[in-house]
């Protein structure tokens, strides 16, 4: 059983990651913190709480984090996720209150109270976790690992060489990847492989429980956001790769690499520099996921959605 805190910016693929975390008996979801990214902070908070309400969960603490990146103004993912951040789904009004704590203090509380070490999963910009590490360095030893959706080796999805989460807050991403905490990084390379194909989407549509209906609406909308130039066969599901790896790392191919983040580039700020061939001879600081067993992943998503019958 993996004790985790999910720091996310729901977000269509964040939503699937959250559903997998709630579904899996291998995951103990201690709390959810939200970040500004796909939408501004109050919207991603509401979205996380609506999703938990949809899953009939009101006992997992949720707290909102930073309104903006550490140094930069916020760029939003509205073009991909719509005005609500979860366009395409009818979601319930949250039936519980958020914690009266900022995200970093909820993380500190949960990590301190956990007798085991805690895994922090990041599926949005790294702002909250960078701040948490700066404000509570004494708790670093109680963090087991960081599992991060971010970056890409030779690919980008927001600019030619930059991935959205790292580009929103390059400084936070740089702080986090250089934290010295064990890291598993899920870059776009694996996210592009983690696709839901038309057959998978049809199977999700057949699931008549409220979670199934919501996910069907989310994948339909999200699919419209991918311009044809991507030429994907299916719908890439980035964020769920983090939780899927925690559920079964044997379904992935990874490589230990030295990773850093560019923060000064005019065109490349936020680019992850993944030293695949160890040209720098620097000690690898991340296990980077490059491939996934796609059919297994799609079945996992379907099984999770069905489990809410």
Task: Summarize as ranges the residues that interact with ligand RIB (CB under 6 A).
Answer: 9, 11, 13-14, 37-38, 77, 123-124, 149, 157, 163-165, 238-239
**CB nearer ligand RIB, residue 31 or residue 152:** 152
Whole-number Cα distances in Å, 42 to 3, 38, 45, 51, 176: 26, 11, 5, 14, 24
- Taking phi over 0 as left and psi of -120 to 50 as alpha, with beta for the rest, 85 belongs to left
CB of 236 to Ca ion, least distance (A): 12
Closest distance between ligand RIB and the C-beta of residue 299, in Å?
22
**What's the sign of the alpha-carbon dihedral 206, 211, 217, 223?**
negative
| Residue whose CB is less far from ligand RIB, 48 or 108 | 48
Q: How far apart are CA 74 and CA 70, in angstroms?
A: 10
Please check whether residue 122 is in contact with residue 151, taking contact to mean a CB–CB distance below 8 angstroms.
no
24 vs 123, beta carbon nearer Ca ion: 123
**What, of Ca ion, ligand RIB, none, does residue 200 touch, CB below 5 to 8 Å by kind?**
none
Choose the contact partner of 170 out of Ca ion, ligand RIB, none; CB within 5 to 8 A by kind.
Answer: none
Q: Rounded to the nearest whole angstrom, what is the least distance from the CB of residue 123 to ligand RIB in the complex?
A: 5
Neighbours of 282 (CB within 10 A): 12
Output the smallest distance, CB 65 to ligand RIB, in A.
14
- Nearest to ligand RIB of 34, 145 (CB atom): 34
Please answer whether residues 154 and 246 qualify as being in contact, where contact means their C-beta atoms are separated by less than 8 angstroms: no
The contact set with Ca ion (CB under 5 A) reads 9, 11, 14, 123-124, 239
Give the C-alpha separation, 16 to 22, whole Å. Answer: 10
Nearer to ligand RIB by Cβ, of 13 and 200: the residue is 13
Q: In the complex, which residue's CB is closest to ligand RIB? A: 164
In angstroms, give the least distance from the CB of 233 to Ca ion.
Answer: 22
Closest CB 195 distance from Ca ion, rounded Å: 17
**Do the strands 252-261 and 62-64 form a parallel or antiparallel pair, or are they unpaired?**
unpaired
Q: Which is nearer to ligand RIB, 3 or 163 (CB)?
A: 163
Distance set, CA 253 to CA 89, 122, 184, 290 (Å): 33, 20, 12, 6
């Amino acid at each position: 059983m993996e004790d985790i805190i999910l720091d996310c910016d729901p977000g269509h693929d964040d939503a699937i990651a959250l559903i997998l975390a709630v579904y899996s008996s291998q995951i103990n979801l201690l709390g959810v913190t939200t970040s500004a990214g796909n939408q501004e902070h109050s919207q991603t908070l509401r979205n996380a709480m609506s999703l938990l309400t949809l899953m009939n969960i009101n006992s997992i603490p949720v707290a909102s984090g930073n309104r903006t990146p550490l140094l930069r103004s916020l760029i939003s993912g509205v073009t991909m996720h719509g005005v609500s951040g979860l366009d395409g789904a009818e979601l319930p009004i949250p039936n519980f209150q958020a914690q009266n704590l900022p995200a970093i203090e909820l993380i500190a509380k949960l990590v301190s109270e956990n007798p085991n070490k805690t895994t922090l999963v990041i599926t949005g910009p790294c702002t909250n976790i960078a701040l948490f590490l700066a404000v509570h360095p004494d708790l670093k030893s109680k963090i087991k690992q960081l599992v991060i959706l971010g970056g890409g080796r030779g690919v980008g999805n927001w600019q030619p060489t930059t991935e959205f989460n790292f580009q929103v807050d390059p400084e936070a991403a740089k702080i986090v990847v250089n934290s010295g905490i064990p890291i598993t990084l899920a870059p776009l390379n694996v996210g592009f492989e983690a696709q839901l194909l038309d057959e998978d989407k049809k199977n999700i549509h057949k699931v008549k429980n409220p979670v199934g209906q919501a996910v069907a609406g989310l994948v339909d909308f999200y699919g419209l956001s991918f311009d044809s130039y991507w030429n994907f066969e299916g719908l890439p599901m980035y964020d769920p790769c983090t939780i899927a790896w925690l559920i079964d790392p044997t379904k992935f191919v990874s490589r230990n690499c030295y990773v850093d983040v560019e923060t000064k580039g005019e065109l490349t700020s936020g680019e992850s520099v993944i030293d695949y061939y160890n040209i720098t001879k620097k000690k690898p600081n991340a296990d980077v996921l490059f491939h996934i067993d796609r059919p297994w992943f799609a079945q996992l998503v379907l099984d999770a959605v069905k489990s809410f019958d």
